Structure 1
Amino acid sequence: MDERGDTVIEQVKLALEDTKFTPFWLDDPNIPNVEENLKTHIKTDLLIVGSGFTGLWSAVQAKEQKPNRSVVVIEANTTAIGASGRPGAILSPSLMHGMENTDRLFQDEMNVLERLGKENMDQFRRTIEKYNIECDVEWSGELIVAMDEQGVSDLENEYKLYTQYGHEAYLLEKEALQKEIHAPTFIKGLWSKQRSGTIHPAKLAWGLKRVAKDLGVIFYEHTPMISSTSEKDGVRVHTPNGSIQAKKVILATNAFTRHKKKIRARVAAIRDRIVMTEPLTSTQLSELGWANRQGIFDTRSQLNYMRLTKDNRILFGGRLGYFYGNNTDPIYDKSPAPYVRLVQALYTTFPTIAGIKISHAWSGPIALTNRMTVHYQQFYQGKMIYAGGYSGFGVTASRFAARIALAIVDDKEIPERQLSFTKAVPAWIPPEPFRWIGIKLTFYALDTYKVKGGWRDAWFYLLKKMGLPLKP
């Protein structure tokens, strides 16, 4: 390594010296009080397992639709402790993990899905305003950036989709893009200005919990689901110190689903890593630009995404990982080592702040499927429904997914139930050790493609045939 490389590594090590390896969003003195755990046997009309966004949106909408319905939520830990308390939280109206992915999977239904995505975002915003949820939301738009010629081509194709389906979107050439954000590696941008922005995800989750409780939902925390059995009038869910007899159950567990082999066979717990800087000074912020404060992500499969917080920290995420056996809590990710390359990428992207300290770094599983979007699985003749599989944009898509999950358990006919994504499940993913080998090989190919090429072309071709069109 040359002298300059040694200097950067030293900067990174210094930046991570005093880092807290916990989500910034949850490191808040105003975190809600913990609910009691379940210590008895109860009955309810609807049981929701998991109090992340899917579970919270399900609870709120269940009571809005039927105020007299009894609803109980159980949570293995505390509200928002999983994926809902640690995302980048860039808001997008996409329901299917981006326009390109929607076009790939559901081209014949694009018009409907785009309309529903806009309607969902409007209802998402209306809920925040109706219930006065304080969650640092900024409707500043989303900015997709290209970093090479392949990215430029992808961006131009994306722009065609945005304009075709009625989004207020603008292509930015390099000079115009650099006026928005001083990042020398960005060569072209696509700024979508409507129905997108950023939010504080934990505050949103805590706000939704407060709303659900006001509507009459009962919460039990530190109450994991151990097992379930079908009964004549519903489902009995067993917990460590009690049980719930429910007429209907929604499993809102996303990547944290160990008790159903059928779900694990189609969902891999891929880890997504994030770092958060100390607050920028006014001088640093001025040098950076970013006056319009958009959420930003690039076009690559192994992408980086970034945004500003209310107190002007930079969140920077995107180094993926996987641990054998779908391990959702590896001790390794609570040390500096897995974040070194991510901090290096942060400094390369924003050289004017190179050396800034990292206050928080964290990781956690996202539920990766070959569709990279929500799907449904049914158990016990439809009395129990799993809704999960988000790999991005789940903060807003979870509201839409919860609405459909409720329609399924209520056996209510709504047009969305006739869409392709509600009827089919993602492709099967091989078990261990083949899962670990395949995922690790894919990450290595993504990281080394531009330098070495070779067999990687054949590997990405095979992935495309399997329904995962990853791009190096």
Structure 2
Amino acid sequence: MLADRALANVTFYPFWLDRPDAPAPQAPLVGRTEADLLIVGGGFTGLWAAILAKEAEPSKDVVLIEAENIACGASGRPGAIVSTSVMHGLHNAVRVFPEDIAMLEALGQANIAGFLDTLDRHAIDCDAEWNGELTVAVGKENLPTLNEEYELHARHGHDVVLMNAEETRGQLASPLFEGSLWAKKNSGTLHPARLAWGLKRAALSLGVRIHEHTPLRDISDEGSTVVAATRDGKVRARKVLLATNAFAAGHDHIKRRVAMVRDRILMTEPLTPEQMDRIGWRNRQGVYDTRTQLNYMRLTKDNRILFGGRLGYFYGGPRDPRLDRTPAPYKRLAEAFFRTFPQLDDIGFTHAWSGPIALTTRMAVHFQTYHRGKVVYAGGYSGFGVSASRFGADIGLAKLNGATRPELECDFARTMPGIIPPEPFRYIGARTTMYALDTADSKGGWRNLWLKFVGKLGFPLS
């Protein structure tokens, strides 16, 4: 079978992290130390927070601890399609925070400007290509959704082009695509691990003390400070930012509102020039489709196709599920790839992996406050987090510092997503939802009703 053949020689490890030039880890923390600000988590949010804090106040003593290697969690695993959205897309922002849209749009533009400025000032080369973002309609039944997206984006001043089937296939040749929306400005793709490693280098150059292989064990409140116990040491700090996203480390209550879901991804071998001619894609946009169980895709610098989007849930949220190091969970994803690009029946996959996303009823970053304001959690990215993580770090620091900024009075900064039932109810609901997502488009019935019910609970999955 085509999918089995294409998966025959796959490596179950993130393509982005499989590089000989990965930087050596910083030494773990051993013993006791003190800091003005402790950041827990060495992914995008933590790294952005470290840089923003030091650039705002160079004399501030900032310590960042990471349980494993920098970028080994979600930040070294995404599709890395980047946009101005800070709330998981404009449609989701309107759904959750209709009163905040003008502010969120302005903050999103400012965030991407700051993102680009940091890349420039710190000479971070992360293979960025600013070619726009393509949303494609799979089947004619999804054209109304595409038209709604176009009207929404145009109404809010986005540079967007609506294309019919012929025009869409002129951009990217797939028999499934019946139309598309091309958002042209301030969006594109990049290499997420190279970005994270560049941010690490920038943080170190600013004087941030980074300790890798330093898992957090516990945080205790000691009045004017908090003490974070790690595997081999302790940090006494005035303030702590928890940048732990789907891992939800730092306080037991974080998981009440955050569930870890796994997102699966395949990476092809590099396409030859002749194979590239079969699909077109000369403008190299990042792509999302409109299926219930959506797929997303993009090109790498060396013309591999990243193809992702199948969700999975594991009881208790393990860091590295055994199943996701076997071919089984990727077979349907491979089959979806070949339905999308049947002309690439001679291609194989080199890498397959899953990454943790933090599912909440908001589907976007939120902020939780603990220990009388001395500890703030900034997380909840359900995708779209590569650039939005800078925004999350900025707002998280502002809340931690007790800043007075207009955006902190908005609902997105003051409220939290809804509570998610604990295990085993979480597992039962998640598994039922994943099955419904897998089969809704082909079988419908109770699956569509279930997804509508889940949507009313706050998860817009249908």
Which TM-score applies when normalising by structure 1?
0.96
> 2-side partners of 1:366 and 1:254: how far apart?
8
Match of 2:55 in 1: 64
Q: Is the partner of 1:190 in helix, strand or coil?
A: strand
In structure 1, the gaps of 5 or more residues are: 1-9
Aligned match for 2:426, one of 435, 460, 464: 435
Aligned-residue RMSD, C-alpha: 1.1
Q: Is the partner of 2:216 in helix, strand or coil?
A: coil
Aligned match for 2:45, one of 47, 54, 69: 54
- Deviation per CA, 1:381-439: give whole Å up to 9, x if none: 01010000001110000101111111111111112211111111111111111111111
Match of 1:132 in 2: 123
1:238-387 matches, cutoff 5 A: 238-387=229-378
1:180-219 matches, cutoff 5 A: 180-219=171-210
Identity fraction in percent: 52
Tell me if the contact between 1:328 and 1:364 (Cα under 8 Å) persists in the aligned partners: no
Q: Does 1:391 align with 2:402?
A: no
Q: Which has the higher mean CA deviation after the structures are superposed, 449-458 or 380-389?
A: 449-458
Q: Does 1:27 align with 2:12?
A: no
Alpha-carbon offset, residue 261 of structure 1: 2.3
Alpha-carbon offset, residue 451 of structure 1: 3.6
Match of 2:223 in 1: 232
Aligned match for 1:77, one of 45, 64, 68: 68
> 2-side partners of 1:345 and 1:211: how far apart?
39
User: What amino acid does structure 2 have at the position aligned with 1:409?
Assistant: L
- Deviation per CA, 1:136-158: give whole Å up to 9, x if none: 00000000001123421111111
User: What amino acid does structure 1 have at the position aligned with 2:89?
Assistant: G
Tell me if the contact between 1:270 and 1:368 (Cα under 8 Å) persists in the aligned partners: yes
> 2-side partners of 1:232 and 1:315: how far apart?
49
> 2-side partners of 1:314 and 1:451: how far apart?
26
> 1-side partners of 2:428 and 2:249: how far apart?
21
- Deviation per CA, 1:52-100: give whole Å up to 9, x if none: 0000000000001000000000000010000000000001111110111
Match of 2:84 in 1: 93
> 1-side partners of 2:428 and 2:383: how far apart?
23
> 1-side partners of 2:249 and 2:199: how far apart?
26
Q: Is the partner of 2:63 in helix, strand or coil?
A: strand
Match of 1:402 in 2: 393
Tell me if the contact between 1:12 and 1:355 (Cα under 8 Å) persists in the aligned partners: no
- Deviation per CA, 1:247-270: give whole Å up to 9, x if none: 000000001124522111111100
Match of 2:100 in 1: 109
> 1-side partners of 2:103 and 2:6: how far apart?
47
Tell me if the contact between 2:292 and 2:441 (Cα under 8 Å) persists in the aligned partners: no
Equivalent pairs counted in the alignment come to 462
Q: Structure 1 residues 457, 386: CA separation in 2 closer, same or farther (over 3 Å shift)?
A: same
In structure 2, the gaps of 5 or more residues are: none
> 1-side partners of 2:196 and 2:460: how far apart?
32
- Deviation per CA, 1:6-30: give whole Å up to 9, x if none: xxxx222222122110000000111
> 2-side partners of 1:17 and 1:69: how far apart?
51
1:161-176 matches, cutoff 5 A: 161-176=152-167
> 2-side partners of 1:273 and 1:151: how far apart?
24
User: What amino acid does structure 1 have at the position aligned with 2:118?
Assistant: T
Alpha-carbon offset, residue 201 of structure 1: 0.3
Alpha-carbon offset, residue 445 of structure 1: 1.5
User: What amino acid does structure 1 have at the position aligned with 2:142?
Assistant: G
Q: Is the partner of 1:325 in helix, strand or coil?
A: coil
User: What amino acid does structure 2 have at the position aligned with 1:218?
Assistant: R
User: What amino acid does structure 1 have at the position aligned with 2:96?
Assistant: L
> 2-side partners of 1:468 and 1:291: how far apart?
35
Match of 2:457 in 1: 466
User: What amino acid does structure 2 have at the position aligned with 1:278?
Assistant: E
> 2-side partners of 1:383 and 1:150: how far apart?
50
Q: Is the partner of 1:152 in helix, strand or coil?
A: helix
Alpha-carbon offset, residue 216 of structure 1: 0.3
1:406-417 matches, cutoff 5 A: 406-417=397-408
Tell me if the contact between 2:54 and 2:62 (Cα under 8 Å) persists in the aligned partners: yes
Tell me if the contact between 2:134 and 2:182 (Cα under 8 Å) persists in the aligned partners: yes
> 2-side partners of 1:86 and 1:461: how far apart?
30
Q: Is the partner of 1:311 in helix, strand or coil?
A: coil
- Deviation per CA, 1:207-250: give whole Å up to 9, x if none: 00100000000000100000010012211000111100000000
Match of 1:7 in 2: none
Match of 1:5 in 2: none
User: What amino acid does structure 2 have at the position aligned with 1:47?
Assistant: L
Q: Which has the higher mean CA deviation after the structures are superposed, 346-355 or 62-71?
A: 346-355
Q: Is the partner of 2:247 in helix, strand or coil?
A: coil
Match of 1:159 in 2: 150
Tell me if the contact between 2:291 and 2:441 (Cα under 8 Å) persists in the aligned partners: no
Which TM-score applies when normalising by structure 2?
0.98
